[in-house]
């Protein structure tokens, strides 16, 4: 999917919402257990209930892998069910030596037809390059993550010059363009978005941490948006587990709608 | 598997060899294509040919994931086929926020019954802790990797104090003990092993990069060994793809034997 197609969708739907399909089997409503594949049925109903409100879906690979072969099958079916217009993200946080990263890229881009994959930067250029080599596909590189542990290594000054997350962002901009590379920046660091937009003015940012993790949409958007939007804000648990009853899809829609309404208002101010 | 059990096996077999099952479908000998599951058949014959020479097997998850559901099935069968005495490593390089890392841990430790998993440190403590929470299981944390891209971030001085790989090793020693935590240190940095042994005297090091990547067993062992061995040295392509003909298993054994003989001589000098 091209950058232009993502931007087009954001404008049409007045939304930069990504719905995270962290479809934890143990939290799926009981009444879905009668289905052959409860995880797929859950995803299907979530997608039906939210697809006009979001521009992206982000299956979290861990929740599928933890179910072995069955989970892989649920993921395959889910990927086929997501409408073509949606930007799909394999939230996998992979990254390995070149020949191995190439295999992961093949898995996500060819086997499952994802538009993008999240990649960890620790191993450097040859762990990222094989993903960038796929035309029309995207790398979403971890920069400043949303979790507590982001404090352990990401803020330390690198050779006295800049924090690690900034070095990752500056270095990676020599590897990939804004047409193929995004960065993960957690919503739990809203005070950092102004600075981050200076480091990477044109790259899309994928922002997890709104909802269950406590990030604030208004605050991060204020500084995180660029003049074409440039944000994809993800909510997972806050949407898909808004209710654990038979009304889970309705409640998911209500949660997604609340975020989309906020986004629509914010976008009205920048997209004239 | 306990540290004592790993050490016992090293002593008995006079080997600290780990065989990497990077079973790339496109490189599997043609005559195996007649089998229902060529990847499993390949692994089975490699295991039969090497199991008395190595103490560990390390399936590289990327090569299984790239084949979708079928790959997952090959991995399940392979894991059941590996003898119980071998230390099994899921080379997966995972790491995510807490609830997600917990799911990956469940996938590798419970679903597939691996003894250990490789984990990326970038996201810090709560991305690693859920793996450490599994009793009797191991985390193998990336420290200094074997690839070219290890130069991009791992050597930069952190707050003027020490390089990133050292900070990772020192910080992680406050998270896990030598009974549950190992570090990845690439064989392509042999000059670093002396220093690394000072940073982590008691932790096992998993050392990739011997063979196809060019690392030197003698050199890294000289400084990398501690007084109970403390090394697992991995070779993948150099063993499993030693031949692409019908003699692939014999040739794999020959390559493994060459490494094991070198190890046996080295061990004779330290294990009296």
- Residue B93 predicted with pLDDT over 70: yes
Q: Tokens 């004779």 sit at which residue?
A: B268
- Residue B162 pairs with which residues in a beta bridge? B158
For B186, counting Cβ atoms within 10 Å of its Cβ (0-12 exposed, 13-18 middle, 19+ buried), the class is buried
Residue in A20, A95, A123, A140 to test binding to B, most B beta-carbons within 10 Å: A123
Say if strands B162-163 and B157-158 run parallel, antiparallel, or are unpaired: antiparallel
B100 contact A CB<8A: yes
Band of residue A36 on the pLDDT scale cut at 50, 70, 90: very high
Q: pLDDT for B222-257, tens place per residue?
A: 999 999 999 999 999 999 999 999 999 999 999 999
Burial annotation A208-223 (CB, 10 A radius, 16+ → b, else e)? bbbbbbebebeebbeb
Round to whole Å and give the CA distance between A17 and A206: 10
The per-residue pLDDT for range A64-73, each reduced to its tens digit, is 999 988 999 9
User: A65 in contact with B at a CB cutoff of 8 Å?
Assistant: yes
Q: Which domain holds residue B49?
A: 3-270
Helices (H) and strands (E) in chain B, counts: 12, 10
Q: What integer is the mean pLDDT of B137-162?
A: 97
pLDDT at B216: 87
Residue B207 pairs in a beta bridge with: B233
B168 touches chain A (CB under 8 A): yes
Domain count, chain B: 1
Chain A contact set for B123 (CB, 8 A):
93, 120, 142, 145, 147, 149-150
Question: Please, what is the Cα angle at A187 between A185 and A190, to 5 degrees?
Answer: 95
Residue A271 has pLDDT above 70, yes or no: no
The backbone torsions φ and ψ at residue B213, rounded to the nearest 5 degrees and listed phi first, read -85, -5
Q: Residue B272 has what pLDDT?
A: 56
- Mean pLDDT computed over every residue of chain B: 96
Closest-CA residue in chain A for B97? A147
Question: For an interface test with B, which of A122, A210, A237 has the most B Cβ atoms less than 10 Å from its Cβ?
Answer: A122
Question: pLDDT band for position B69 (50/70/90)?
Answer: confident
pLDDT digits (tens, 9 = 90+) for A3-22: 999 999 999 999 999 999 99
Residue B93 is a catalytic residue: yes
pLDDT tens digits, A128-182? 999 999 999 999 999 999 999 999 999 999 999 999 999 999 999 999 999 999 9
Supply the pTM of this predicted model: 0.97
Residues 188-227 of A with CB under 8 A from B: 208, 213
From CA A79, how far away is CA A3, in angstroms rounded? Answer: 20
% residues pLDDT > 90 (chain B): 92
Residue B182, SS3 per DSSP: strand
Comparing CA positions, the residue from A101, A42, A100 lying closest to residue A71 is: A42
pLDDT at A236: 96
Please give the average per-residue pLDDT across B118-141, as a whole number. Answer: 98
Q: Which of A214-228, B63-77, B82-96 has the highest mean pLDDT?
A: B82-96
Could you read off the pLDDT of B198-208 as tens digits, one per residue?
A: 999 999 999 99
* A99, A150, A158: residue with CB nearest B156: A158
Rounded-to-integer distance, Cα B52 and Cα B75, Å: 21
Residue in this structure with the two tokens 């804004």, named with its chain if needed = A178
- Model confidence at A214: pLDDT above 90: no
Q: What order do you get walking across the sheet with B157-158 strand by strand?
A: A162-163, A157-158, B157-158, B162-163
Q: Could you count the other beta carbons within 10 Å of the beta carbon of residue A134?
A: 18
pLDDT of residue A63: 96
Question: Has residue A87 got a pLDDT over 70?
Answer: yes
The arithmetic mean of pLDDT across residues B179-198, rounded, is 95
* CATH number of the domain to which A265 belongs: 3.20.20.70
Q: Decide: B128 and B154 in contact? Cβ < 8 Å.
A: no
Instruction: Give the pLDDT band (50/70/90) at residue A241.
Output: very high
The length of chain B, given as a count of residues? 272
């Amino acid at each position: 999917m091209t950058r232009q197609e993502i931007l087009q969708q954001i404008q049409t739907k007045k939304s930069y919402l990504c719905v995270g399909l962290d479809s934890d089997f143990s939290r799926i409503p009981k009444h879905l257990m009668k289905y052959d594949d409860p995880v797929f049925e859950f995803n299907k109903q979530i997608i039906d209930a939210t697809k006009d409100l979001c521009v992206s879906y982000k299956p979290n690979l861990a929740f599928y892998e933890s179910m072995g072969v069955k989970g892989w099958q649920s993921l395959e079916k889910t990927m086929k069910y997501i409408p073509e217009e949606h930007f799909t993200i394999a939230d996998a946080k992979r990254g390995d030596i070149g020949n191995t990263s190439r295999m992961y890229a093949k898995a996500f881009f060819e086997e499952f037809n994802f538009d993008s994959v999240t990649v960890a930067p620790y191993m450097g250029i040859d762990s990222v390059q094989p993903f960038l080599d796929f035309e029309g596909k995207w790398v979403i590189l971890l920069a400043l993550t949303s979790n507590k542990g982001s404090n352990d290594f990401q803020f330390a000054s690198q050779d006295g010059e800049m924090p690690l997350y900034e070095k990752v962002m500056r270095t990676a901009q020599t590897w990939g363009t804004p047409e193929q590379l995004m960065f993960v920046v957690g919503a739990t660091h809203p005070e950092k978005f102004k600075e981050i937009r200076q480091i990477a003015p044109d790259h899309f940012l994928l922002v997890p941490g709104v909802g269950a993790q406590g990030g604030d949409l208004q605050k991060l958007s204020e500084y995180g948006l660029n003049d074409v939007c440039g944000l994809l804000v993800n909510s997972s648990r806050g949407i898909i587990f808004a209710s654990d009853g038979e009304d889970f899809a309705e409640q998911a829609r209500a949660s997604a709608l609340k975020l989309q309404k906020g986004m629509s208002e914010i976008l009205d101010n920048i997209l004239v």
